[in-house]
A and B are shown apart, each in its own frame.
Chain A
Amino acid sequence: MSKPVKILLKLLLVALGLFAVTFTVYILNLDMKLTAAIEPFLQKHYDTIERNRHL
Chain B
Amino acid sequence: MAKEIGADRLGDLYIDGGKVRRRREWRGLADTMYDYSRWLGIMATLGKFVMKPRNVKAMFRYRWMANYLAVPMMVDRHTQGLRGEYLRICHEEQDLVIKDVAKLLDSLFRGDRRIGNDTEFSKKVVLVDENEMTAVMMGFPTLKCLSRETPSTYVSVLLNQHAAEHYIDVAQEFGLAGDVCPMPEAEAGVSIDDDAPVLGACAIQCNTTCDGSLLGNGVISRRLEKEDGIPVFQLAAPLRHREDDVQEYAAQEIRNAIAFIEKHTGVKWDWKAYFECARRVNYATRCRQEWLEMNRTPWPQVFGSNLALYTETNYMAICGKVPEFERADRRITKLARQAYEKRKMAAKEYRHRAIVWGVQSHFYMDFLVWLLNCWGIVPLTDMLSMVSTRELKEEDTPENRETAIYDMAWLTENMIMRNRTHGGYRVLLDELWEFTQQFNADMVILWEHMSCKALTGMHGMFEDRARDLGIHLVWVDHDLFDPRIISRQGVRDQINNYMRTVMREEPLDPSLEVLHDEESW
Interface residues of chain A, those whose CB is within 8 Å of chain B, are 22-23, 26-29, 31-33, 35-36, 38-39, 42-43, 45-46, 49, 51-55
Bound CA–CA A45/B222 (angstroms): 28
The number of A-B residue pairs with CB atoms under 8 Å apart is 64
In the complex, the answer to whether B66 meets A51 with C-beta atoms within 8 Å is: no
In the complex, the answer to whether B192 meets A49 with C-beta atoms within 8 Å is: no
Min CB distance B424 to A, Å, is 35
Partner of A43, one of B39, B66, B174: B66
In the complex, the answer to whether B43 meets A31 with C-beta atoms within 8 Å is: yes
B interface majority secondary structure: helix
Q: Which residues of B, 205-248, contact A by the 8 Å Cβ criterion? A: 219, 222
* Neighbouring B residues of A42 by C-beta, 8 Å: 59-60, 66, 69
Min CB distance A37 to B, Å, is 9
> Which residue of the partner chain A has the closest CB to B160?
A39
In the complex, the answer to whether A51 meets B222 with C-beta atoms within 8 Å is: no
A39 and B73 contact, Cβ closer than 8 Å, known pairs A27-B24, A31-B43, A53-B193: no
> Which residue of the partner chain B has the closest CB to A42?
B66
Q: How large is the interface on B (under 10, 10 to 19, 20 to 34, 35 or more residues)?
A: 20 to 34
In the complex, the answer to whether A27 meets B20 with C-beta atoms within 8 Å is: no
In the complex, the answer to whether A55 meets B222 with C-beta atoms within 8 Å is: yes
* Neighbouring B residues of A27 by C-beta, 8 Å: 23-24, 26, 32, 36
* Neighbouring B residues of A54 by C-beta, 8 Å: 192, 194
> Which residue of the partner chain A has the closest CB to B174?
A55
Min CB distance A4 to B, Å, is 27
* Neighbouring A residues of B73 by C-beta, 8 Å: 32
Min CB distance B129 to A, Å, is 19
In the complex, the answer to whether A52 meets B194 with C-beta atoms within 8 Å is: yes
Bound CA–CA A38/B36 (angstroms): 23
23 pairs, A vs B, C-beta closer than 8 Å = A22-B40, A26-B40, A28-B23, A28-B24, A29-B20, A32-B20, A32-B521, A35-B70, A36-B19, A36-B20, A36-B69, A36-B521, A38-B69, A39-B19, A39-B69, A42-B66, A45-B60, A46-B63, A51-B193, A51-B194, A51-B195, A53-B170, A53-B192
Bound CA–CA A45/B170 (angstroms): 18
Bound CA–CA A54/B69 (angstroms): 28
Bound CA–CA A22/B35 (angstroms): 13
User: Which 9 residue pairs across A and B have the least CB separation, nearest first?
Assistant: A35-B69, A32-B20, A51-B194, A46-B63, A36-B19, A52-B194, A42-B66, A36-B20, A32-B73
* Neighbouring A residues of B521 by C-beta, 8 Å: 32, 36
* Neighbouring B residues of A36 by C-beta, 8 Å: 19-20, 69, 521
> Which residue of the partner chain A has the closest CB to B25?
A27
Bound CA–CA A50/B69 (angstroms): 23
Min CB distance A53 to B, Å, is 6
* Neighbouring B residues of A35 by C-beta, 8 Å: 69-70
B6 within 8 A of A: no
B144 within 8 A of A: no
Bound CA–CA A43/B219 (angstroms): 25
Partner of B72, one of A31, A51, A53, A55: A31
Scoring B residues 409 to 441 as 1 if CB is less than 8 Å from chain A, else 0, what string do you get? Answer: 000000000000000000000000000000000
Min CB distance B57 to A, Å, is 12
B61 within 8 A of A: yes
B484 within 8 A of A: no
* Neighbouring A residues of B170 by C-beta, 8 Å: 53
Bound CA–CA A27/B24 (angstroms): 5
In the complex, the answer to whether A26 meets B20 with C-beta atoms within 8 Å is: no
Scoring B residues 30 to 47 as 1 if CB is less than 8 Å from chain A, else 0, what string do you get? Answer: 001000100110010000
> Which residue of the partner chain B has the closest CB to A38?
B69
